[in-house]
A and B are shown apart, each in its own frame.
Chain A
């Protein structure tokens, strides 16, 4: 339980920082190309707690999947889990691209950023949390 909490806090701290760096700094100009699709800055700030809750839910679910032993143990297992989950998320991102008028490069850069994010989250969780062993039927 203690390691679960440590893994959660470390991964959450990273995902929060990376989310700000990727979306708030690196991709800022790309987002600015489609202002109609986004809330105003002040509106986003008033809903900022949903970003915190959303990121916490993502990290909690990731650590939970890892901790239940589905993925095995170790840094490599954590990275492998992160890569598989992110590639599935890229599929969902493509679905959003089909229905929302995003620029294609936002999907591309977002997916690359997401892959980097989940690889590092996987490595952090894999390094800190040691599951009992792979789940058996």
Chain B
């Protein structure tokens, strides 16, 4: 594994995932989320748990990069995006289960599933484009 390229891909993936999450879930879906305010922490409480959000995104980006780096060692935006979309479907399955047990609206459910698919597909493509093994680079 090329750790320098891995690190660059990880940082780029983290930057994208965090920014996308803020825009999609925090801004674009804010109105939908506010339809069920009982489900969310207050602003002050969210501020106290912000480190968990950052750490969670670091873990997600790191392991998505690791999965792509390990299972698609030659890199490539298309192959990594394909793998990332399959991973996003696992999260979509978890979203469906959450919908069944928590009082989410269908608008939130659809937004989360669409967000997962877009976020992972682009993050996977970024990782695949940045991470290329030595063998791929020399051919």
Residues on A facing B (Cβ under 8 Å): 19, 36-39, 43-44, 47-48, 50-51, 53-58, 60-62, 64-65, 68, 70-71, 81, 84-85, 87-95, 97-101, 134-137
Contact = CB atoms under 8 A, between A and B. Distances in A.
B39 A65 contact: no
Contact of B63 (A47, A87, A94): A87
Chain B at the A interface: SS class? helix
B53 A88 contact: no
B59 interface: yes
Nearest to A69: B71
B132 to A, nearest CB: 10
A8 B90 CA distance: 14
B118 to A, nearest CB: 15
Interface residues of B, number: 48
Contacts, number: 143
Nearest to B70: A84
Interface of B: 21, 38-41, 45-46, 49-50, 52-53, 55-64, 66-67, 70-72, 74, 76, 79, 82-83, 86-87, 89-97, 99-103, 136
A54 B53 contact: no
